[in-house]
Copies of this chain bind each other. A is one copy, B any other.
Amino acid sequence: MEEKRYRQVQNFLKLQIQKGYYVVGDYLPSENELCSTFSITRTTARKALEELMKEGFIGRQHGKGSIVRERRQSLGLLTVKGFSEAVGKDVTTVFLQHPQPGFWNPEIHFPISENEIRESCIHFARQRCVGEIPVMIEYNWLANTHLEGIGDIAFIDGSFFKTLSQHYRIEIIGSEQELRAENANKNIAVLLRIPLGSPILHISLKFHTSKNNFYIYSELYCNTVNYPIGNSYHL
C-alpha cells in the first residue's frame, strides 16, 4: 500500500524542520498553501499539521498559522530539551567521558536485549553544574550500530537529543524510568562534591526512539538539596 497522503506531507514538513529549513519561531506554510503545493484538500493538510502538533514539532494559532516549537514533551521526568529546564536554572555541562566505544555496564538498571549485548556499545558521561556546583552526574549507553561518527562530532547546541534529531533524524518517542533515593557512594560523592552517604536521587531511564530496537539507557545521580528536579504536565 502507498503511504497515506497526510503522512507524506507530515514527514516532508518534519524533515524540513529537522534539517533546519524552519527554525523555532518560524511559521510553516498555511493550510491553503499546502493544499496547492501538494495538490491536496484542506482536510488532508489539516490532518498532517495536527499530527505534527501531536508530535510536538509545531503549535497552531487561530488566525495566524503553524509555528515551529522547541520539541519538549515531558518524557518521564526530564524534558526532551534536557536538564536545564528541570532545575529551572542555567546549567553548564562538563564531559567526564566523551562518546566512545565501550562495554555495556551492569550499572544499567533496565534489562538489555540479547541483540544489544551482541552489538558493541557507545558510552558517554557528563557532569551538570549550576554555577560552579555540580548537581547531576549522567551516564549514558547506547548500541554502536545506529549513530555512525557520533564520537567525532560535537553535540548540536550541546544537546544529545538535538543531535539525534537533526543529524541522525532519530526522535525520542517514549521513555521508562525508575526513581530511587539512595546514599551517595564514594564515586558519586566525589563527583558531586558532597559527603559520602548524602541522600541522592537516582533515576534510571530507558528512552525509546523512532528507530526500531534502538534504545538509550541512562543512569542519573542528582544532588537535590539546592536544586530539586521539577517538571509539569498538562493535558
Residues on A lying within 8 angstroms of B by beta carbon are 54-56, 73-77, 173-183, 199-202, 204, 208, 222, 224-225, 228-235
Contact = CB atoms under 8 A, between A and B. Distances in A.
Contact of A180 (B54, B56, B228): B228
A231 B177 contact: yes
A177 to B, nearest CB: 6
B230 A178 contact: yes
* Copies of this chain assembled into the complex: 2
A181 B222 contact: yes
A181, A208, A229 pick with most chain B CB within 10 angstroms: A181
Contact of A181 (B54, B199, B231, B232): B199
Contact of A232 (B55, B76, B180): B76
Nearest to A75: B233
A196 B105 CA distance: 33
A55 B178 CA distance: 25
A152 to B, nearest CB: 30
8 contacts: A73-B233, A74-B233, A176-B231, A178-B229, A179-B201, A179-B229, A180-B201, A180-B229
B228 A179 contact: yes
Q: Which among A73, A77, A178, A183 has the greatest number of chain B C-beta atoms within 10 A?
A: A178
Given A179-B179, A181-B201, A222-B181, A174 B232 contact: yes
Interface centre among A177, A183, A199, A224 (most CB of B within 10 A): A199
A200 B181 contact: yes
Contact of A234 (B54, B77, B173): B173
Given A199-B199, A201-B201, A76 B181 contact: no
A225 B229 CA distance: 20
